[in-house]
Amino acid sequence: MFIGIDWGGTKMEVIALDRDGTTRARHRIATPTSGYDACIRAVQELVATAEQMAGETGTIGIGIPGSPNPRTGIVRNSNAVLLNGQPLGRDLQAALGREVRLANDANCLAVSEAVDGAGKDAHTVFGVIVGTGHGGGLSIGKHVHAGYQGIAAEIGHYPLPWMTPDEYPGHKCWCGKHGCLDMYACGTGVELDYRLTTGTDRRGRDIIADKRNGEPVATAVYERFVGRLARSLALLTNIVDPDVFVLGGGMSNVDEIYDELPDLIVKYLFGDSFETPIRKAVHGDSSGVRGAAWLWKD
């Protein structure tokens, strides 16, 4: 049995899967707000709950925001800042009494969709989370490809490609740099663009609803968003050229983007056509937790 945990900023979820992907147990809780040690205890409780529900013990994989340094095990680059600087893997193994595998949550999405989702027919799957932020994960041969430094596919913090003069030098990102895709090709980017254009705040889903009703400002904001997403996928194609892109996160549910992206991407390719499938994640919000479980699917 494979146990996976999705460690999110607001919720933690556990799932237990059979080898064929059948769900044996599932449970979620609010992520503790009282500190790192409380979160470690929450993981212990989630594992115990899943194993009690399923009546069996299992391997444990955990998807986290950020990633562990492959040489030191110290977590870095996490927007759940309490994880940064912590030897999370070692602490979890001590608390649980067994080996734990950790991976970036976007890598978990890529693995989930590669094993039995939108990329199950593909060798190289690039998962792109287009949600609150813009993140990426890479699966090769249905396993995480984290890279030598453990930061492969960290696409949210390279600058928006092919910036126009009015975009340069870009908005300041939470990481301290300017122009990161995490501030553009995502829900946060849509809401920020609308606020800077109109001086008012509006939720991303409401902006998309306005666009579908033909409202000019919302339409322009949407068109800039999909163009920026296209530039990101074009650069990834020029570098990785995966067999399939799989999109997750809230903005991946905007169905129009799947028809519009190919014609926009081809303008930036070092080639004369773009044929790569772009698919919505089959498992949706469950891709992260399922992918964490599949970290042990050797």
Are residue 219 and residue 134 in the same domain, yes or no? yes
Q: Give pairs for 172-177: CB < 8 Å, separation 24+.
A: 174/79
Within-domain flag for 160: yes
Asked if the bond preceding 68 is cis, omega within 30° of 0, the reply is no
Are residue 96 and residue 215 in the same domain, yes or no? no
Are residue 145 and residue 184 in the same domain, yes or no? yes
Task: Specify the CATH number for the domain of residue 50.
Answer: 3.30.420.40
Are residue 140 and residue 269 in the same domain, yes or no? yes
Q: Are 127 and 109 in contact (CB under 8 A)?
A: yes
Handedness of CA 166, 168, 169, 173 (dihedral sign): positive
Within-domain flag for 269: yes
Are residue 256 and residue 128 in the same domain, yes or no? yes
Structure confidence at residue 115 (pLDDT): 96
Are residue 72 and residue 174 in the same domain, yes or no? no
Tell me how far CA of residue 195 lies from CA of 109, 199, 217, in angstroms: 30, 5, 11
Are residue 128 and residue 101 in the same domain, yes or no? no
Are residue 161 and residue 245 in the same domain, yes or no? yes
Instruction: Show pLDDT as tens, one digit a residue, over the chain (298 residues).
Output: 999 999 988 899 999 999 999 999 999 999 999 999 999 999 999 999 999 999 999 999 999 998 999 999 999 988 788 999 999 999 999 999 999 999 999 999 999 999 999 999 999 999 999 998 999 999 999 999 999 999 999 999 999 999 999 999 999 998 899 999 999 999 999 999 999 999 999 999 999 999 999 999 999 999 999 999 999 999 999 999 999 999 999 999 999 999 999 999 999 999 889 999 999 999 998 999 999 999 998 8
Question: What's the structural domain count of the chain?
Answer: 2
* SS3 state of residue 226: helix
Angle at 62 between CA 190 and CA 105, to 5 degrees: 20
d(CA 203, CA 62): 30
Structure confidence at residue 132 (pLDDT): 87
Are residue 42 and residue 183 in the same domain, yes or no? no
CA 68 from chain centre, in angstroms, equals 16
d(CA 107, CA 152): 9
Within-domain flag for 196: yes
Handedness of CA 181, 131, 186, 83 (dihedral sign): negative
Are residue 252 and residue 206 in the same domain, yes or no? yes
Domain with 63, as residue range(s), is 2-108+286-295
Are residue 44 and residue 23 in the same domain, yes or no? yes
Within-domain flag for 115: no
Structure confidence at residue 9 (pLDDT): 82
Within-domain flag for 114: no
Structure confidence at residue 10 (pLDDT): 86
Are residue 228 and residue 261 in the same domain, yes or no? yes
The pTM of this model reads: 0.93
